[in-house]
Amino acid sequence: MKRKILWTGAIVLAVGLATGSAGAQEVSLRAVSFVPKNHPVMAQGNVWVDTINEKLAGKVKINYVGGPEVIGRHQQLNALRTGILDVLMSVTSDFQDEIPEVSAFTLSKLGPEAERKSGFYDLMVKTHERVNVRYIGRVQYGGFYLWTKKKPETLADLKGLKMRTGSLYDKMMRELGMVPVSINQPETYTALEQGTVDGLGWPVFGVRSIGWTRHVKFAVDLPFYETSNMIAVMNLDKWNKLPAEVQKAVLETTAQYEPKMVAFFKEGEAKEWGELDKVVTRVKFSEAENKKYLDTAYDVEWAAIAKRVSPDTLAQLRKATGN
């Protein structure tokens, strides 16, 4: 049985149950991501989908249909919470208006495996339930960098630079005197080419392969938000309809996948820097300015969270993320 739901802009999505063999039903889950599925940062997102489909064959199948070309990035969370989508792989910075606690994902100083032991995982499960979403797990690992066209010799050289952002780096950029400019990932190359922006914030993967290094020639070699912020989440109503043994299998499979995902990104980053170093120059500032740069990245985000959650919740978040 399938049902069709009309999405604004004449996008029609099929969701529901796909009948398998007699007496059994394979649950079909429609999934999208915040960037196209062939984007380098989705490498392990694709692996997670394939792993779930392999381990739960005949019970669950995630139909990963694409990225923002299917549903616009900033409409994806609402599409998920209302049941138009079943699964979403996205960055938590896109959720922070509705769920301020998710900013702690980027501030965590623990890996995914340690987060499951510290209480952070369970805390995020409860937090996401407020918007009818079930947090499943992390699908990316690694730090973020600032990439610029011109070489910043000192921290002051960042002031006034127009920097492409996807909301994750807004507060940090403003605090350090930069001008954040919100631009969707597919339009970033043109923005760099036309001078709309002087650089961008982004992890290691994608900067070279997408072609951005034709314009950005310097990387501030001070990675921040080490554990990244890309997660897999599911519509809570759909999750609650899954048999208990299927829910358990999804969670166990994801927990087993996460350490392999982390290892993939650590190894991949080292290899990617080997290529990036051929076309990009890494820069740092003085010891004092390096500290100010990194402290600012974390302090502005914790301060923002503190304005929107209770002192008890803030203390829980800090403890559970190793801060």
245 pLDDT higher than 70: yes
Least confident interval from 20-29, 148-157, 247-256: 20-29
Residues 172 and 287 grouped into a single domain: yes
Residues with Cβ within 8 Å of 221's Cβ and at least 6 positions away in sequence, in order, are 145, 282, 283, 284
Q: What pTM does this model have?
A: 0.80
97 and 119 in a single domain? The answer is yes
Interior angle at CA 93, CA 88 and CA 97, nearest 5: 100
Rounded Cα distance between 245 and 260, Å, is 23
- Res 240 pLDDT > 50: yes
Amino acid at 107: L
pLDDT of residue 23 exceeding 80, the answer is no
Q: Which domain holds residue 282?
A: 144-226+274-320
Number of other CB atoms surrounding residue 11 within 10 Å: 15
Looking at every residue in the chain, the average pLDDT score rounds to: 90
214 and 278 in a single domain? The answer is yes
What mean pLDDT comes out for the span 132-147? 94
Does residue 21 register a pLDDT over 90?
A: no
Tally of structural domains, the chain? 2
More confident residue, 65 or 5: 65
Q: pLDDT higher for 280 or 229?
A: 280
CATH number at residue 90: 3.40.190.170
Q: Are residues 178 and 316 in the same domain?
A: yes
Instruction: Please indicate, yes or no, whether residues 89 and 105 belong to a single structural domain of this protein.
Output: yes
What's the pLDDT at 24?
59
Same structural domain for residues 37 and 167? Answer: no
Q: Are residues 254 and 290 in the same domain?
A: no
Q: Are residues 54 and 175 in the same domain?
A: no
pLDDT of residue 14 exceeding 60: no
Question: How confident is residue 223, by pLDDT bands cut at 50, 70 and 90?
Answer: very high
Is there a contact between 278 and 271 (Cβ–Cβ < 8 Å)? no
Quote the pLDDT of residue 158: 98
Residue 149 confidence class, pLDDT cut points 50, 70, 90? very high
Q: What pLDDT, in 10s, does the model give residues 55-111?
A: 999 999 999 999 999 999 989 999 999 999 999 999 988 888 899 999 999 999 898
DSSP 1: -
Average pLDDT (182-210) is 93
Mean pLDDT, residues 221-247 taken together: 93
Mean pLDDT of 2-10: 35
Q: Within this chain, do residues 59 and 133 fall inside the same structural domain, yes or no?
A: yes
Q: How many CB atoms lie within 10 A of CB 314?
A: 17
Q: Are strands 144-148 and 133-138 parallel, antiparallel or unpaired?
A: unpaired
| 9 pLDDT above the threshold of 80 | no
Same domain for 253 and 235, yes or no, is yes
Pair (119, 235) in one structural domain: yes
Based on the fold, state whether residues 128 and 232 are members of the same structural domain. yes
